[in-house]
Structure 1
């Protein structure tokens, strides 16, 4: 049996296994003193940490293969887990070309000109690309997530998940595990994310009522999703709406991208979201007048969907907060009771947002969603305003109370949600009536504010209606 050299690390940290895993070579009676010194030369300590110089790093895997072969009398197997982690970190931090050069030299010696190698196995999120670090290595057998070979080895099958939960006496939590961690399609197999399943099962051992969470996502970071959201145009935002709503989109993907190609077009980013597990396929569609096929893509499960929603919300907040024109026009229109201008600016904002973030919520919760959205906009529109939410006033709790700088002025806003756009006018009238009947302006009048504006603002998907009245 061949001996193994493993090197790899966390996609989050990028740490790798080091030669001290084979420390027995330093005392091997089958190595010459020169060879032992070569091995020790790989391990240079600085401040208690192992470091490499570039020349020694390039030849390290080939040298280890040679020494292990001489020690055991067998050729080595090299296992490189997440080979693209260093490339990802380098791409994100501006030294991609240097890292490509280093890894190309390292792999060239270890995998191409290594007579002590039996075979090697590499894993990574991006498919092996001959144009990047594997120039000259032409004897790869590539298995990607769309291939049938080894498709069940990428994660847990449904039967395996059921057995795991049954063995831990937590089978009643199967619906949660399926909703949060199932949904991936590898070749012809339906697969659960193994990292998430294992971590949630471990959590359930100490707390049978534990809530699911996105373990894999939280450990890996979401730079790629953030990059994708930052580059999204209106067409892409419409497609994101469909994905977040649970629908499929059709995309022609490339599975052989290099990192320096990723952000050249938004189409490339779709490909990366697929290969890194943020999207999965549910089918294929043959393109007209072509031999090519597009993939039907969906968000695989609830854990990943939460990441998209979070990143979309953060992106939306950043876009709106940086648009000073909208913020200024909105605050001025509110003070001047310009219903049409308020409505116009809000509808511009609504047109930029992803309208289905609240799709899964019941109707009464959708009103809360738009309440929160409007509250955030108002707080950003004029930092000198004192804004209260759900504050007791009169005979109930007003949605939003605003105390402008003018000590005589006050603003009351009641938010409504309507299933139908054609019902927005009626919802606004009901909101203004509620303000008057419940005397929501009482708290403002108690402070001597006598110039009170009441606004009923109703929302439906990406549209809103505003009706204002001076009390």
Structure 2
């Protein structure tokens, strides 16, 4: 077997043999009586391009059709991610710098990026350069191509919703894990919260956001965007094992985002997170300490004030008072992409 013919993912001779074509998907859907799910199959599992052919991932389609036979209303799932290990991708995440993170953000936002692809890459040379990341993502199916000018540089894109979900759920989580390995920085971040240092919290959270990747989910409800930053803060503050931290706990007349009890210091912390958009400013004339040295950002400032007003209106500090904490620090935090603003009230 020393004279094999290799058909690459850019070869046009057998380009329609790597997956199901549109016509084949239509026939499959008719046979298994699930034509009403064609739009979901297309959004989740289509988008791959081999040579000049657009194809669907066959493994995903087969598994989803099989699932629909027993659960006719089942939604698509990311079946492909469990077909192999992902250690190579995770190792590249550890090597990624600011430019790589920015390009990953562009891909998640639906853009294409031009990259030179080396399809002859060997394992020995794998980690010699971060640029090899793109060849690996391409050849392993995380990315596909949307055309090439010279046969070497390809316009790379995330093929479908399934892979985009994997980027958001898994690769984003890996970036966050890497950023959380800096123990001294995490200690300083948590201590800034306990000390009531809104400026230090703001500066360090902005620095953290710049080291990870962000998601521009313009089509989702604002609450989901807020949950993204809520989750990040919860993970960072959990670094302090001696703190009692609760999320979405009932307090006063509602559910606060994050409550923290530092019992040995008699300090309680209430955190409300906002993803602000334009609108009327809240009627709140009370003086609030803020980071006056930061460039003015009226939208983020408005979000902070709304968060602090909600803490007071809903009585989120009541639970901390009931637990005997003498000092309560109230933080309104507004986030948008890689920027945040932090305001503090002490009571």
Global fold match (TM > 0.5): yes
Query: Equivalent residues in 2 for 1:107-186 (5 A)?
Result: 111-112=1-2, 141-186=5-50
Hey, what's the Cα distance between the residues in 2 that align with 1:407 and 1:257? 56
Report if aligned partners of 1:454, 1:468 keep a CA contact under 8 Å in 2.
Answer: yes
1:307-326 Cα deviation digits (max 9, x unpaired): 22233233133223311122
Q: Tell me whether 1:404 sits opposite 2:262 in the alignment.
A: yes
**Aligned to 1:267, which of 131, 136, 142?**
131
In the other structure, the counterpart of 2:290 is none
**Aligned residue-pair number:** 329
Hey, what's the Cα distance between the residues in 1 that align with 2:77 and 2:253? 40
Task: Tell me how far 1:235 sits from its aligned partner.
Answer: 0.7
1:257-278 Cα deviation digits (max 9, x unpaired): 2221222112222112212221
Hey, what's the Cα distance between the residues in 2 that align with 1:448 and 1:328? 25
Hey, what's the Cα distance between the residues in 1 that align with 2:301 and 2:255? 22
Report if aligned partners of 2:10, 2:51 keep a CA contact under 8 Å in 1.
Answer: yes
Q: Scaled by the length of structure 2, what TM-score is found?
A: 0.90
For the pair shown, which has the larger CA radius of gyration, 1 or 2?
A: 1
Q: Tell me whether 1:244 sits opposite 2:108 in the alignment.
A: yes
**Aligned to 2:273, which of 410, 415, 424?**
415
Q: Scaled by the length of structure 1, what TM-score is found?
A: 0.67
Where 2:329 maps in the other structure, the secondary structure is: strand
Task: Tell me how far 1:240 sits from its aligned partner.
Answer: 0.5
Task: Tell me how far 1:188 sits from its aligned partner.
Answer: 0.8
Hey, what's the Cα distance between the residues in 2 that align with 1:241 and 1:150? 33
Change (3 A) 1:293 1:260: closer
Q: Tell me whether 1:201 sits opposite 2:65 in the alignment.
A: yes
Where 1:257 maps in the other structure, the secondary structure is: coil
Which of structures 1 and 2 has the larger relative contact order (alpha carbons within 8 angstroms, sep 6+)? 2
Report if aligned partners of 1:225, 1:311 keep a CA contact under 8 Å in 2.
Answer: no
Q: Tell me whether 1:454 sits opposite 2:330 in the alignment.
A: yes
Hey, what's the Cα distance between the residues in 1 that align with 2:216 and 2:175? 11
Unaligned 5+ segments in structure 2 are: 279-296
Hey, what's the Cα distance between the residues in 2 that align with 1:251 and 1:436? 51
Task: Tell me how far 1:140 sits from its aligned partner.
Answer: 5.1
**Aligned to 1:224, which of 66, 88, 100?**
88
Q: CA RMSD in A?
A: 1.8
Q: Tell me whether 1:301 sits opposite 2:160 in the alignment.
A: yes
Unaligned 5+ segments in structure 1 are: 1-110, 113-138, 287-291
Hey, what's the Cα distance between the residues in 2 that align with 1:358 and 1:327? 27
In the other structure, the counterpart of 2:245 is 387
Report if aligned partners of 2:93, 2:175 keep a CA contact under 8 Å in 1.
Answer: no
Change (3 A) 1:366 1:206: same
In the other structure, the counterpart of 1:342 is 201
Hey, what's the Cα distance between the residues in 1 that align with 2:116 and 2:175? 27
Report if aligned partners of 2:276, 2:302 keep a CA contact under 8 Å in 1.
Answer: no
Task: Tell me how far 1:415 sits from its aligned partner.
Answer: 0.9
Query: Equivalent residues in 2 for 1:357-396 (5 A)?
Result: 358=217, 360-380=219-239, 382-396=240-254
